[in-house]
Chain A
Amino acid sequence: AQSVTQPDIHITVSEGASLELRCNYSYGATPYLFWYVQSPGQGLQLLLKYFSGDTLVQGIKGFEAEFKRSQSSFNLRKPSVHWSDAAEYFCAVGFQTGANNLFFGTGTRLTVIP
């Protein structure tokens, strides 16, 4: 069955430290991959997406993600976290099954400490 997993429910990092949020999927072919961010009380905003081509994609707010087919992963990274990055991060996967919907991971809550 198709699925997407975010193994970390909550991560705490210090401001200025690097960040990596994990995302793994289960699917027989290459999916479409997205990272969304949700600030408290807000809707979801797209950070970046991967469809094909270069496996390292750049997004907004200094985020990047790398698609690794061999590991079925699409981890989100940022070299230096800012306090304003504190939010909930969702990995989402679109599968090439003809259904036009996304499957979302359960989210990772990021806390940034001074």
Chain B
Amino acid sequence: DAGVIQSPRHEVTEMGQEVTLRCKPISGHDYLFWYRQTMMRGLELLIYFNNNVPIDDSGMPEDRFSAKMPNASFSTLKIQPSEPRDSAVYFCASSRPPLQETQYFGPGTRLLVL
């Protein structure tokens, strides 16, 4: 299996621009998670989906962030407008049910907002 695929791997943008991060989970995994990692806050769960439906988005920092999962093989995390404090590494992970199953992480997208 190819593992979780994320694109782009690196993104540099200017404040105010829209940023879209993409994720392809492992085939057959019903759960998809978006995390953000920063030095200050560590690894934070932003949102997760089950069977393409958002289950818990309480970690999404504010309305500038949105996530979608239009089908079982694709998800996006969008930031509009972006701000310098959004600079972080964003990880996507997927897993099978139930909770005990391992989450498999993608390589991450390193975002820098200038």
Contacts and interface: CB of A to CB of B under 8 A. Distances in A.
Interface of A: 32, 34, 36, 41-46, 49, 51, 90, 94, 96, 99-107
A101 B105 contact: no
Query: 10 nearest interchain CB pairs?
Result: A43-B105, A44-B105, A104-B43, A106-B42, A43-B107, A100-B99, A46-B102, A51-B100, A94-B99, A101-B45
29 contacts: A32-B100, A34-B102, A36-B105, A41-B107, A42-B107, A42-B108, A43-B4, A43-B105, A43-B106, A43-B108, A44-B43, A44-B91, A44-B93, A44-B105, A46-B102, A49-B100, A49-B102, A94-B99, A96-B99, A99-B55, A100-B55, A100-B97, A100-B99, A101-B33, A101-B45, A101-B56, A102-B45, A104-B42, A105-B42
Contacts of A99: 55-56
Interface residues on B, range: 20 to 34
Interface of B: 4, 31, 33, 42-43, 45, 48, 50, 55-56, 91, 93, 97-100, 102-108
Contact of A100 (B42, B48, B91, B104): B48
Contacts of A101: 33, 45, 48, 56
Contacts of B91: 43-44
Given A34-B102, A101-B48, A103-B45, 12 more contacts: A43-B91, A44-B93, A46-B103, A49-B100, A49-B102, A94-B99, A94-B100, A99-B56, A100-B98, A101-B45, A102-B45, A104-B43
